[in-house]
Amino acid sequence: MAAHNEFGLEGEDKAVNYLIREGYLILDRNWKSGHKELDIVAEKDGTLVVVEVKTRKSNKYGNPEDAVSSRKIRNTVLAADAYIRYNRIDLPVRFDIISIVSNGDDIKHIEDAFRSPVWYR
């Protein structure tokens, strides 16, 4: 596996551990729908939470969460829709971002980071 992929998976592991400590139930990791992927799918307090994880070695080129583009949002929403249909889930949905800078001590959880755009279909 390429080093950057391993780095990303380490960040996702840190995000999962953080979410578990915060009382989230992890339902899935790296769930795929075609070429689209959901990093983490969790549930807390009757809400389905789809989490995009962004990990960077430093803030030199901006915060990790700044890398979540409108295209990434669209693809995440489409994958979440497929996940919900496939698993027949009837819960409100929230989209969060977990931003991690290399050392893992700097974890930022942005709840309700984006909403499903009207144009996603």
Domains of the chain from N-terminus onward: 3-114 (3.40.1350.10)
Query: Percent of the chain, pLDDT > 70?
Result: 87
CA 48 to chain centre: 12
What is the tens place of the pLDDT at every residue in 6-19? 666 788 999 999 99
What is the tens place of the pLDDT at every residue in 48-107? 999 999 998 888 888 899 899 999 999 999 999 999 999 999 999 999 999 999 765 689
Tokens 């962004």 found at: 54
Instruction: Extract long-range pairs of 81-86: CB within 8 Å, 24+ residues apart.
Output: 81/120, 82/33, 82/36, 83/28, 83/31, 83/33, 83/38, 83/41, 83/50, 84/48, 86/33
